[in-house]
């Protein structure tokens, strides 16, 4: 006698057959947001090749206006923009645009167009597709300011949250970060390093080979001399960026 794969028991109380519920269906890749997977992991250590690149950037070798990031669609960033990744320096708003470019060009987000197409179709059919959605959050970056545009779909209204006007220490905590301490400071330094490296060595950066060549040239300098250059740069980089801001 064959063995059944599943048994459907009889429910004596309701005098009917109760069946096992359906397994939830997984979303198609084209329905997933391309930005869910984080492109930078703060848990991993900093490989030597990443350290080599950021040391060259922070050494202040070259002119502040040297182009170190340039894409085929004519988007570019200068050296001083990347120098603002130096720990304790205030980041220039332009680096947010650079990171957006990297995400948009990343191979992992090639399904972005299909995702947007499905999102538009969902909005057009909002009564059926978004009937259970209460709030829609839209982040907006403009120059140095970061806003959050929140649309209440249940009660027609919207709210704009300005990051510069929100004072909430708990809101500063992100997954994987330590509490405020020297350990968190080390994580932030690591995070800046990884963001800088990923932007400047991205495959769509047409200046990538130029950058890596300059990195190699910098590391032909004797280690003691490199350490002296980095020590001087540590004292000068804030003043240099202040003059350019």
Domain locations in the chain? 39-128+163-244
Chain centroid, CA 216 distance in Å: 27
Q: Which is higher by pLDDT, 126 or 52?
A: 52
Can you name the residues that pair with 138 across neighbouring β-strands? 149
pLDDT confidence band for 176 (50 / 70 / 90): low
What is the distance between the alpha carbons of residues 89 and 80, in angstroms, rounded to a whole number? 11
- The whole-number pLDDT of residue 85 equals 93
For residue 96, give both structure tokens: 């947010």
- The whole-number pLDDT of residue 102 equals 85
- The whole-number pLDDT of residue 180 equals 78
User: Is 37's pLDDT higher than 60?
Assistant: no
Least confident of 8-12, 59-63, 112-116, 230-234: 8-12
Chain centroid, CA 110 distance in Å: 16
Residue 132 CB: number of other CB atoms within 10 A? 7
- The whole-number pLDDT of residue 6 equals 43
User: Is 243's pLDDT higher than 50?
Assistant: yes
Q: Which is higher by pLDDT, 191 or 146?
A: 191
Ramachandran sector of residue 135 (left: φ over 0; alpha: ψ -120 to 50; beta: rest): beta
CB 89 within 8 A of CB 237: yes
pLDDT confidence band for 86 (50 / 70 / 90): very high
- The whole-number pLDDT of residue 161 equals 78
- The whole-number pLDDT of residue 237 equals 92
What is the SS3 assignment for the chain?
Answer: CCCCCCCCCEECCCCEECCCCCCCCCCCHHHCCCCCCCCCCCCCCCCHHHHHHHHHHHCCCCCCCCEEEECCCCCEEEHHHHHCCCCCCCCCCHHHHHHHHHHHHCHHHCCHHHHHHHHHHHHHCHHHHCCCCCEEEEEEEECCEEEEEEEECCCCEEEEEEHHHCCCHHHHCCCCCCCCCHHHHHHHHHHHHHHHHHHHCCCCCCCHHHHHHHHHHHCCCCHHHHHHHHHHHHHHHHHHHHHHC
């Amino acid at each position: 006698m064959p063995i059944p794969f599943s048994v459907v028991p009889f429910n004596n109380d309701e005098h009917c057959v109760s069946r096992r519920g359906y397994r939830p269906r997984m979303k198609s890749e084209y329905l997933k947001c391309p930005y869910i997977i984080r492109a930078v992991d703060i848990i991993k250590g900093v490989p030597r090749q990443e350290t080599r690149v950021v040391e060259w950037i922070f050494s202040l070798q070259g002119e502040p206006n040297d182009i170190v990031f340039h894409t085929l669609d004519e988007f570019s960033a200068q050296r001083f923009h990347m120098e603002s990744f130096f720990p304790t320096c205030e980041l220039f708003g332009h680096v947010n645009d650079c990171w957006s470019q990297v995400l948009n060009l990343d191979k992992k987000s090639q399904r972005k167009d299909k995702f947007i197409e499905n999102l538009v179709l969902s909005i057009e059919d909002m009564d059926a597709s978004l009937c259970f959605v209460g709030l829609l959050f839209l982040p907006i970056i403009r120059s140095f300011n970061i806003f959050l545009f929140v649309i209440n779909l249940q009660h027609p209204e919207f709210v704009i949250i300005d990051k510069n006007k929100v004072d909430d220490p708990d809101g500063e905590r992100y997954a994987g970060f330590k509490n405020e301490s020297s350990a968190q400071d080390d994580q932030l330094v690591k995070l800046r390093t990884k963001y800088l490296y990923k932007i400047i060595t991205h495959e769509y950066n047409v200046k990538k080979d130029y950058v890596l060549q300059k990195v190699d040239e910098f590391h032909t300098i004797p280690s003691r001399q490199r350490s002296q250059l980095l020590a001087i740069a540590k004292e000068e980089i804030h003043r240099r960026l202040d003059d350019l801001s």
